[in-house]
Amino acid sequence: MRLQDEPDLPAQINIVPMIDVIFAILTFFIMSTLFLTRQEGLPVNLPQAATSQQSQVPTKITVTVESDGEISLNKQPTTVDALTEQIRTLVGSTPDTIVVINADRKVEHGEIVTIMDQVRQVKGARLAIATQKP
């Protein structure tokens, strides 16, 4: 029996398992990127501003003021009087730390000004106010 007498079968590559693996990897990456978002503040109803910008800053401290007047520093309840020392501790020696005030639109203007004054007393802390686009 000679090997040359056998008919030549064309070589075939079955790509169905390769497609299954590619889709499994793609699904993994899509699902993993959905969990990469971080929410550092408590949920409040932000006021709208046409000039607001969405920016990501690595060293950010969030001061949240809810509509009922509750104040939180990085999701931890606090008071206006203790705010300066707590922010000073968090800033430490890190230059250009941004303190974001995340206040509900129903909070009185005077309370926000008081919090801004407390933040300005910390050396090296820059101040920002969170808004959302209309």
What the chain holds in terms of domains, given with CATH numbers, is: 3-34 (no CATH), 60-129 (3.30.420.270)
Q: Radius of gyration over alpha carbons of the chain, in Å?
A: 28
Residue 74 near residue 90 (C-beta atoms within 8 A): yes
Q: What angle do CA 65, 69, 73 make, to 5 degrees?
A: 35
Residue 116's closest CA among 132, 103, 105? 103
Q: What number is the average pLDDT over the span 8-20?
A: 86
Q: What number is the average pLDDT over the span 6-10?
A: 74
Tens digits of per-residue pLDDT, 29-75?
998 888 776 666 677 887 888 776 655 445 788 899 998 888 998 88
- Residues 6+ away with beta carbon under 8 Å from 86: 73, 78
Q: CA-CA distance, 62 to 100, in Å (whole number)?
A: 5
The DSSP output letter for 6 is S
Residue 14's identity, in one-letter code, is: N
Higher-pLDDT residue of 124, 53 = 124
- Residues 6+ away with beta carbon under 8 Å from 76: none
Q: Does residue 20 surpass a pLDDT of 90?
A: yes
Q: What's the pLDDT at 39?
A: 63
Residue 71's closest CA among 88, 84, 59, 83? 83
Of 8-17, 18-27, 44-53, highest mean pLDDT: 18-27
Q: What's the pLDDT at 56?
A: 46
Strand partners, 101: 63, 129
Tens digits of per-residue pLDDT, 88-107?
888 877 767 888 898 888 88
Residue 99 near residue 119 (C-beta atoms within 8 A): yes
